[in-house]
């Protein structure tokens, strides 16, 4: 308090009574306290910006906590790891408009949804992508009808180059439109029909998933 009074006296440069000194110093103290709170709140608000709140860190990789598909919000349900011979190949994130941890519901629900794959291995070759998809389709849907087979072939043709560490592959389904396949941020194909979507999603969440750990992680289990 003595410091505040002295400072107030020097700043005013006037002759005031002791009570006036104290009152003035108290006013300055209140103003200083308000300033401290404003600085604190400003820093807090800056910290809790949307970019910070709406992101989740997974082993050093940041995933948006929410994305918009056809103007509808889809929440991050979970993140899983695809491994091969004890090596992490990519992280997979599942986004749903109506979150659920039921694998069958994830496959069959006709709602906006996305699977995002973030590669963490040094490089996944083009032929490895194709081999993996072919195996996944054959295990979960061994006898596709001609129309579905044609859409599967269109899907496989999207993979024409390797995907390197830090790059992403995404599959976004919009009801009434189809499944958008994007690689390294570039849209490759929009493959129609709900039937193709359920076939593709069965690779991750079907009876014979490509990876149990990847599936359970994306389901938030």
pTM of the complete model? 0.76
pLDDT tens by residue, 63-82: 999 999 999 999 999 999 99
Domains of the chain: which residue ranges?
Answer: 2-47, 52-218
DSSP string, the chain: -HHHHHHHHHHH-S---HHHHHHHHHHHHHHHHHHHHHHHHHHHHHHT-HHHHTEEEETTEEEESEEEETTEEEEEEEEEEEEETTEEEEEEEEEESS----HHHHHH--S-EEEEEEE-SSEE-HHHHHHHHHHHHHHH-SS--HHHHHHHHHHHTT--S-EETT-EEEEEEETTTEEEEEETTEEEEEE--HHHHHHHHHHHHSSS-S-HHHHHHHTT-
For the domain made up of 52-218, give the CATH fold.
Answer: Chalcone isomerase (3.50.70)
pLDDT tens by residue, 156-201: 999 999 999 999 999 999 999 999 999 999 999 999 999 999 999 9
* Range scoring the smallest mean pLDDT among 30-34, 119-123, 132-136, 183-187: 30-34
Average pLDDT, the chain: 84
Whether 47 shows a pLDDT value over 70: the answer reads no
């Amino acid at each position: 308090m003595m410091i505040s009074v002295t400072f107030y006296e020097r700043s005013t440069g006037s002759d005031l009574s002791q009570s006036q000194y104290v009152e003035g110093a108290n006013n300055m103290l209140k103003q200083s306290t308000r300033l401290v709170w404003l600085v604190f709140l400003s820093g807090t608000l800056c910290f809790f910006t949307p970019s910070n709140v709406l992101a989740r860190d997974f082993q050093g990789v940041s995933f948006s906590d929410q994305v918009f598909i056809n103007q509808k919000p889809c929440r991050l349900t979970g993140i899983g790891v695809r491994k091969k011979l004890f090596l992490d190949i990519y992280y997979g994130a599942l986004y749903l408009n109506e979150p659920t941890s039921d694998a069958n519901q994830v496959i069959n629900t006709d709602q906006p949804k996305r699977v995002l794959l973030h590669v963490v291995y040094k490089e996944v070759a083009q032929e490895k992508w194709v081999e993996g998809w072919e195996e996944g389709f054959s295990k979960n849907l061994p006898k596709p009808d001609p129309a579905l087979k044609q859409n599967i072939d269109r899907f496989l043709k999207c993979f024409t180059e390797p995907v390197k560490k830090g790059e992403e592959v995404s599959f976004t389904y919009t009801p009434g439109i189809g499944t958008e396949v994007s690689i390294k941020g570039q849209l490759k194909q929009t493959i129609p029909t709900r039937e193709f979507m359920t076939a593709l999603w069965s690779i991750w969440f079907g009876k014979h998933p490509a990876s149990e750990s990847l599936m359970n992680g994306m389901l938030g289990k």
